[in-house]
Copies of this chain bind each other. A is one copy, B any other.
C-alpha cells in the first residue's frame, strides 16, 4: 500500500576527506535532516520549515528541499500534491553537506509517496540538482554518500560515476563544528583554478593511498595519506584556530585531520571510540583556546545505510 505520510532522514557527510577534493565522501550517523511529507489533494507543494537554526530559507522558492521536491513533482507528475515539513537540524554553511542532506531527505520523502517509487540510484540526479541550486556547483561528494551511505568515490562527473568504497569498520569519524559560518560559494571561490603538476601528483598519490588505507584499516597508511596540499592551505585561513585544532587532534591520536567539505567543520579519523572521545575533547578545547570559538561535536562510525525512511503512515 502506498503510504499517505512518511518521515525520512538523510545524514550528514564528510566530503574531500583531506586529499580527495570533489571525489571522496563518507556518511556519518549524526547530525542529519528530517523531512515529513504527506499526500494532499491539491497538486504542487505546500512547504514549511521547522528549525532552531538561523539563516534557513523558509521561502519554498529559496529552500533546497522545496526546490528538489518541486522538481520531482514537475517531472514525475503524480496525481496528488505534497505537503512537506523540513525538520532542519543541521546548520547550513557547516561543511557537513547540509544542503545535500536536505535535498536527499526531500527526494526520498517525495519518492516514498509515489505509486511506483524510483530506485535509490535514480534519486541522485534530483539531489544533485539541489546541490547546483544551493551551492552553484554540481558536486556529488556529499549527496552520494548521504543517499547511499558508506564511503563513495565520485570517479567522474561526466558521466557521473559513483563507486562505493570500503571503509574498515574499526574506524570512527569525529566532526567538530565551530560556531562560525563559511559559505560553500566563498570557500570554492578562493580555490586555485590551476595547480602545479607536482602538487597534483602528490595529491593523487594521497587519494590512492587513502582509499587503500580506509579499505584495509591500515592506520599508518591513513595517517600518511590524509594530506591535502591544495585545498587545505587555501581554506584553513577561513577557519579561526584551524592549525592549532589539527595539531591537537593529531597529538591526541587522530589518524588524520582536515577540513570537512568546505569547512568550517573539521574532521578527524580515530582508531576507536575511546580514542575518538579523547581526540574530540582536544579539538574543542583547542578551538576555544586558540580562537575563543565554541563548537559542536559529532562522533560516529561510518553510516552504511545512508538516507532512510523513519516511518510510514497509511491512515
Q: How many copies does the complex hold?
A: 2
A96 in contact (CB, < 8 A): no
A187 in contact (CB, < 8 A): no
Contact residues in B for A290 (Cβ distance below 8 Å): none
Of residues 179 through 210 on chain A, the ones whose CB sits less than 8 Å from some CB of chain B are 191-197, 200-209
B192–A161 touching, CB < 8 Å:
no
Q: Which of chain B's residues has its CB closest to A196's CB? A: B194
Of residues 209 through 256 on chain A, the ones whose CB sits less than 8 Å from some CB of chain B are 209, 211-212, 215, 221, 224-225, 230
A156 in contact (CB, < 8 A): yes
Q: Given A23-B201, A221-B163, A155–B196 Cβ distance below 8 Å?
A: no
B197–A193 touching, CB < 8 Å:
yes
A201–B155 touching, CB < 8 Å:
no
Give Cα distance in the complex from A226 to B157, angstroms. 15
Contact residues in B for A203 (Cβ distance below 8 Å): 200, 204
Q: How large is the interface on A (under 10, 10 to 19, 20 to 34, 35 or more residues)?
A: 35 or more
Cβ-neighbour of A153 out of B20, B22, B153, B209 (below 8 A):
B209
Contact residues in B for A20 (Cβ distance below 8 Å): 204, 208
Contact residues in B for A221 (Cβ distance below 8 Å): 155, 163
Give Cα distance in the complex from A19 to B224, angstroms. 21
B195–A200 touching, CB < 8 Å:
yes
A71 in contact (CB, < 8 A): no
Contact residues in B for A230 (Cβ distance below 8 Å): 197, 200
Give Cα distance in the complex from A155 to B19, angstroms. 12
A297 in contact (CB, < 8 A): no
10 contacts between A and B (CB under 8 A): A23-B201, A23-B208, A155-B205, A155-B225, A156-B202, A163-B209, A165-B208, A192-B197, A200-B204, A211-B212
Contact residues in B for A282 (Cβ distance below 8 Å): none
